[in-house]
Amino acid sequence: MKINFKNNFIASVIISYLLFVQISLHGQQKNQTSYSNNLAKNAMSVSTESKIEALIKTLTLKEKVALCHAQSKFSTKGVERLGIPEIWMSDGPHGVRAEINWDNWKYAGWTNDSITAFPALTCLAASFNPELSSQYGFSLGEEARYRKKDVLLGPGVNIYRTPLNGRNFEYMGEDPFLASTLVVPYIKGVQKNGVAACVKHYVLNNQEHWRSKINVEVGDRALYEIYLPAFKASVKEAGVWAIMGAYNKFRGKYTTHNPILHKILKSDWKYDGVVISDWSSAHSTEESALYGLDLEMGTGTDGLGTSTNDFYSQYYLAAPFLKGLKNGDFPESLVDDKVRRILRLMFRTNMSANRPLGNANTKAHHDVARRVATDGIVLLKNEKNFFPIKDDKNVTIAVIGENATRSMTAGGGSSELKAKFEISPLEGIKARYKNATITHAMGYQTGPSRYNQVIPPTLDLDSLKTEAIKTARNADIVLFIGGLNKSHLQDCEGDDRLQFGLPFGQVDLLNDIYKVNKNIGFILVTGNAVEMPWLDKVNALVETWYLGSMSGHAIADVISGDVNPSGKLPFSFPVKLEDNAAHFFGTSSYPGENMTQYYKEDILVGYRWHDTKKIKPLYAFGYGLSYTSFTISDIKTDKKTYTTEDSITVSCRLNNTGLLDGSEVVQVYVGKQKSKVKRALKELKGFQKVSVNSGKQYSVDINIPVKSLSFYDEAISDWNLEKGDYIVYVGNASNNISKKTKITIN
């Protein structure tokens, strides 16, 4: 029976009552057997969208507005009289953050909020492994569900534009196709647990320096081709339930409530989820109301404010919004749309009848964390077969560096974690090497990790250096474990790095160690590229990222050869900072002048810049070595000529020609010859990670829709597919192509 709610008040009240009973039971997590059979049947016969519409008609205007803003640092109000629950959120992208106080940023001091710390998203990106991304997301979602969270504030998919960005470690690299491919299974994995993933930061939040003030000027082509694809994939392919706005401005308007971005997200992409502000990223009642913000979080310094007892009621989408609605400044349909999206989020999460239970710190989660870590570790240099290192009782291994013992789950800003345990690199090496003699010297020291603070070291640096040189002199092998950490002005939210090189005197220390022992392997712990004038001083180099709880075990797995490394760089390592496209154009491009910056490199981000401008990188996007060797042969496309509706199938044979089993990533790039518009030489359009036993081969097929070769045509404000000749490049790194094949699009 179709009910006309406008003309049938009694029917409306009956349906609302049925919804009230059903939702109350869900909100209080009562057993559904407490329903009478008829009541349950009647209530559940109404579709979810119909339930939402009925609830909207039942809510008062004040209750609607109350749903649109925070009530604490990480929660929003429910409606008690209708059984509508609160929404509880938590950072972050690679673990569920410890509990925060109601009204300030201090930790609540709970004893039951320790979790599994998963590797940072740079490591996940380096795995080039969508299947692992799914396992990662699902495991993280289980932990969030166990902690009774409804929204997990991650993943981050902002594009790696400059190696100085303090928050790059939270993101998925410089290539939009790679980020799009890996973010989709992550989101689906999280949301299988009845927990919303919240993709961030929409959009162009590509630096921390001046992040709350900087105005980004970038062309439409770069916006659509580089910076939006991972967000679009999150919406169109993954069906993400929440998206977080960014701090910065775009063309003079804050991105959290930006008319252009609002149209793209909610009109063009038909996004039906919730837009949540980053904490304090809302700046206007009118623009928040009109241009796409649904849930306002974090405005002001704390919930109590300095002069108001309940500062939350003064949020832009709180009392000022309610006043505007009552005065007729805004139509009620505006708040109804926001509430509709918020209720939809609830029916998907905390009002879902089929929400699974979660769990935390399980062996399964630890195993996933370890697999992601070993799959993402990248072997960059390995002269004289330095790695793998055997466990020999006649060998002394000197482990040098503060990063061998420093916690990398603490610090970094909002993504810092309270891990139940964290295996340090030194602990992992000692656990794996039972026979060899392991010694350790700190060598250098930084201050403790503090967000937005630089804490000076407390130990005597000269003594640390002297001890490290002595320890290295008496060893057969030196493992220098250095890089960055997650303190302010390093890999940390709130500001960017101040230097491209290694900090804290590490280069001087390494040079002095080289004078007494030249058998050095460098274990680099970073979320960013670094300058390497010292590269000729080391026989081997491995990029290990921030690996979370299982860090030390994963590093030991790889350097011992228990796991053959297969990670690939998700961003380019330039030789010098000026070789990076954002820095090539000076301060107007990065960090900006007069709080405005121009993305002068346009679409030529990362390897696109290095390839097209013929600027050789130190290490290229997609690069990574193995302990075995591979060749790619029999490379061909299924046809030579295609139409716009076709899919290109690139096939090849991957041959493991070495002595060890291992995995390799076959990468397919495509470039347009004689294009009528500026193009990168080539762009990643497909990849596949394959495990092949020693002496065996594997047939690989990679499908590329012809439409994915389109460019965003600013002349028509839409995608345009050029006809003509294209080059298909197949290899195992952006700068290591095995074969080029010409195809034609008719």
Catalytic residues: 278
Q: Which residues of 160-198 are buried (b: 16+ CB within 10 A; e: fewer)?
A: bbbbbbbbbbbbbbbbbbbbbbbbbbbbbbbbebbbbbb
Q: Where are the beta strands (DSSP E) in 130-241?
A: 151-153, 196-202, 215-217
CB contact at 8 A, 190 and 197? yes
Q: Which are the contacts of 142, defined by CB distance < 8 A and separation ≥ 6?
A: 193, 358, 359, 360, 362, 365
Question: Which long-range contacts does 76-79 make (Cβ < 8 Å, 24+ apart)?
Answer: 76/295, 76/297, 76/342, 78/27
Relative to beta strand 274-276, strand 242-245 is: parallel
d(CA 149, CA 144) in angstroms, rounded, equals 5
d(CA 595, CA 609) in angstroms, rounded, equals 25
CB contact at 8 A, 113 and 99? yes
Q: How far is CA 176 from the centre of its chain?
A: 12
Q: Which amino acid is at 342?
A: I
Task: Give the Å distances, CA to CA, from 609 to 157, 295, 490, 580, 620.
Answer: 20, 38, 25, 8, 11
Task: Identify the helix (H) or strand (E) that includes residue 542.
Answer: strand 540-543
Q: Which amino acid is at 731?
A: G
**The length of the chain, given as a count of residues:** 746
CA neighbours within 13 Å on the CB side: how many for 253? 16
d(CA 143, CA 149) in angstroms, rounded, equals 9
Collapsed DSSP state (helix, strand, coil) of residue 697: strand
d(CA 163, CA 215) in angstroms, rounded, equals 20
Q: Which amino acid is at 726?
A: Y
Among 621, 490, 543, 532, smallest CA distance to 159 is for: 621
CB contact at 8 A, 221 and 714? yes
Residue 87, judged by CB atoms within 10 A of its CB (0-12, 13-18, 19+), counts as: buried
Phi, psi for 543 (deg, rounded to 5)? -90, 120
